[in-house]
Amino acid sequence: MLIAKGLKKNYTSKVKTGFLKSTTKKVEAVRGLDLTIEPGSIVGLLGLNGAGKTTTIKMLSTLLEPDEGSCAIDGLDLVKDAFQIKHMVNMIAGGERMVYWRLTARENLEYFGRLYSIPKEELKSRIESLIRFVGLQERSEEAVEKYSKGMKQRLQIARGLINDPKYLFMDEPTLGLDAPIARDLRRFTKSLAKEQGKGILLTSHYISEIEELCDYVYIIDRGLKIMEGTPKEIASIVANCTNKYKIKLNVLPDKLRGQFETFMSTVQSEFQLEEVDGGIEIDVSSHKDIQSELISMLSQQSKIISFTAMEPKLEDAIITLSEVKNYEQVHA
């Protein structure tokens, strides 16, 4: 079991203020994160750009040292026992980098395998089975530069599994992949957890990916955890905190308009009105589910031509949640 407690990481970077002059700027990338990954489970880490996902993964894979907090992986300490931990974890990132393009798939895997000092015979058979697992057997003797994006990504997965890690950290592994290849990758990921019992941490921008794969999800924003739960719970909270409706009416009498505007302000929702051919269009965005209230109010004095409830977006939910969190912090 991987248990992280209160992980913190600040970056200090130099900002040029003039020729030969600079000040240091502190970025609080991760601000006290608790996280648990059980073997055989897939845990999602969700957040917008710059939320601190990659930083978290780099801390867990020993590339960054946490400023504060601790992490125990199967009883070993992330910092003190880094050498042993390196044998137990690995990281896979999206994109085409991170393999040697001039080498073949097999040579790439041999290289990384040797860095882990895996005994020769064991390494040989492991490379065979990994190449088969990711379906590269026909092209394994070809230089990687001739591979397609998806094949490079599959090699990347094989590379991430070369030390047979108990815990695998995947940083946006489906970045830039076509839907069918992304689907393959999700299938791999699932079987790694469910059949091989690996503990997996997965970061993603896509809520659908997280919903499909994860057993448990953490949502972070600007280095802080704003929510955690099962994908079902997350999805319902997301659905609840961002509701967008597109309504078309044939007329909007003044009386109804007044009534509508008061209602909008009592539920703290925003709206936009626009006159279009044959009626009026209203865009509503609300933190509460006000679908039935809207319909009953509007249909009394006008005719609803169409009413669309938009699919909730994770981005909106995160923004809303962090607003709520900030509000709570300020008013605590």
Partner 1 sequence: MNRYMLNSIKAEAIKQHKSVYHSNLMYFSMLIWPVLELFSAYYAYKPFEGTAASEIVAKWVGDDMIFAFILFGYISFIFFRCFVQSAWRFSSERISGTLELIYQTPANRLGIMLGNALASLFESTWMFMVFCIGALVLFTNLRISSIFMPLVAVLSLVIPSICWGIFMNSLFMFSRDSGMLYTVFQSPMEIFGGAKLPYPAFPFWAKVIGGVFPLTWSINIVRKIFMNGALLSDIKFELLVLCAICAALFLMTLLLLKKSEAYARKTGNMALF
Ligand X SMILES: Nc1ncnc2c1ncn2[C@@H]1O[C@H](COP(=O)(O)OP(=O)(O)OP(=O)(O)O)[C@@H](O)[C@H]1O
Binding site residues, ligand X, CB under 6 A: 11, 13, 27, 29, 47, 49-55
| Least distance (Å) between residue 3 CB and partner 1 | 21
Pairing of strands 224-229, 68-73: unpaired
304 binds, among partner 1, ligand X, Mg ion, none (CB under 5 to 8 A by kind): none
Residue (108 or 174) nearer to Mg ion, CB: 174
* Rounded CA separation 26/12 (Å): 4
Handedness of CA 156, 161, 165, 168 (dihedral sign): positive
- Binding partner 1 by CB under 8 A: which of 34, 65, 68, 270? 65
CB 204 within 8 A of CB 174: yes
Q: Does 19 bind partner 1 (CB under 8 A)?
A: no
* Rounded CA separation 41/198 (Å): 7
Q: Does 122 bind partner 1 (CB under 8 A)?
A: no
Q: Does 53 bind partner 1 (CB under 8 A)?
A: no
* Rounded CA separation 3/162 (Å): 24
* Rounded CA separation 234/228 (Å): 7
CB 236 within 8 A of CB 283: no
Residue (54 or 242) nearer to Mg ion, CB: 54
Q: Does 86 bind partner 1 (CB under 8 A)?
A: yes
CB 7 within 8 A of CB 64: no
Q: Which stretch binds partner 1 (CB under 8 A): 92-100, 200-208, 266-274, 296-304?
A: 92-100
Residue (54 or 62) nearer to Mg ion, CB: 54
| Least distance (Å) between residue 65 CB and ligand X | 13
307 binds, among partner 1, ligand X, Mg ion, none (CB under 5 to 8 A by kind): none
